[in-house]
Structure 1
Amino acid sequence: MNNKPVGRAPNFTNACIVMFGVNITWVLVVIWSLWGLLAAVFLGLGVNHLIERGRVWAAARQAASIRRGKRF
């Protein structure tokens, strides 16, 4: 029987952010090579817009949750 205490899970946030950057880079390079620079630029702008909208949606959900008396 294993009597060791259970430790905390490692924080992989930084690794996730770095790998997102690596993946979006190679995807944009492939799109650039297949369809040109404008397609890659528009895809990058679209991803940026979605990330910013996600922040707005999260803030709206948090505000609604606080109004209901719950902590988000």
Structure 2
Amino acid sequence: MEVRMEPRSRMPAPDYTTANLVLIFVNMLWIFGVIWVQFGLGAVVILGALLNHLITRLEYRLRQQG
């Protein structure tokens, strides 16, 4: 005996983009604070520049694919 489900309309998933961006900001804030205390402001500046470069490369690659 085969059981078939009736097609139902699905509710759209909630958009958690803003909440995720706030969470990323909070986490990066305390991580940069710990790095600043341990290694100094120069390390934070270098790490920030590196992250900026990697995000820019990712954006460029995603635009090339789409």
Normalised-by-shorter TM-score class: 0.7 to 0.9
Q: Percent identity?
A: 38
Q: Which runs of 4+ in 1 moved over 4 A?
A: none
Amino acid aligned to 2:26: V
d(CA) in 2 for partners of 1:53 and 1:24?
20
2:29 equivalent in structure 1: 25
Q: Pairwise mapping of residues 1-72 of structure 1 onto structure 2 (< 5 A)?
A: 6-62=10-66
Where does structure 1 lack aligned partners over 5 or more consecutive residues? 63-72
Partner deviation per Cα, 1:16-51 (whole Å, 9 max, x = no partner) = 111111111111000000011100110011111111
Q: Gapped runs of 5+ residues in structure 2?
A: 1-8
Aligned residues: 59
Q: Which amino acid aligns with 2:23?
A: M
How does the TM-score come out when normalised to structure 1? Answer: 0.74
